Amino acid sequence: MDHPSQVQHFTSEILAHRGIIHKICRVYRRDADDRNDLYQEIVLNAWQSYARFEGRSKFSTWLYRVAINTALYQTRKDKFFGKMSDLDSAENQPEELSNEDDLRLLYRAIDQLDAVEKSIVLLYLDELPYKEISEITGLTETNVGVKLNRIKLKMKNILSAYGAR
């Protein structure tokens, strides 16, 4: 993996898809320093497993999987040590939400979800097809659909409790 072209290719792919990593970090970490630490951990894990990336899926699909698995592992580890993870606003905001208050409300609602639900809703909000969400999460496509329906209902209830439309 020391070949310069492999390093350059990995670096360019990470830079091109850094928004994925930022989204995952924003959802799983409240504190900016914690988000930065998670970002670095995700990139490190991606680099360490890059040699095994065979290109059978898109790089973004593979990166989502690495990022989510890293975030889930770190969340479990943090809970073990008594830390709580949360979320905050960040620079990589969804385009369809122009109102900053709506965006904060959405992320407050996402914060109420469990770790796996957060992963699924992020992938859904990025408009990934169920098949790709299935590949990333390791769930069946049917299970993704069932979980998404439950998450949507849960999010609707959470948002209505916050007084959202």
- Three-class HEC string of 69-90: HHHHHHHHHHHHCCCCCCCCCC
Q: Give pLDDT tens digits for 61-83.
A: 999 999 988 988 887 666 544 43
Q: Supply the pLDDT for residue 77.
A: 65
What are the backbone dihedrals phi and psi of residue 8, each rounded to the nearest 5 degrees, phi first?
Answer: -65, -40
- 31: which DSSP letter? S
Q: 115-134: buried (b, 16+ CB within 10 Å) or exposed (e) per residue? A: bebbbbbbbbeeebebebbb
163, 155, 88: which is closest to 118 by C-alpha? Answer: 155
Residue boundaries of the structural domains of the chain: 4-161
Model's pTM, two decimal places? Answer: 0.61
Q: Is the pLDDT of residue 52 over 90?
A: no
Nearest by Cα to 46 from 29, 32, 63: 63
Q: Is 58 helix (H, G, I), strand (E, B) or coil?
A: coil
CATH number attached to the domain at 4-161: 1.20.140
Helix (H, G, I), strand (E, B) or coil at 3: coil
Q: Are the beta carbons of 120 and 147 closer than 8 angstroms?
A: yes
Give the residue with greater pLDDT, 80 vs 138. Answer: 138
Instruction: Provide the pLDDT for residue 89.
Output: 37
- The Cα 87–Cα 54 span in angstroms is 33
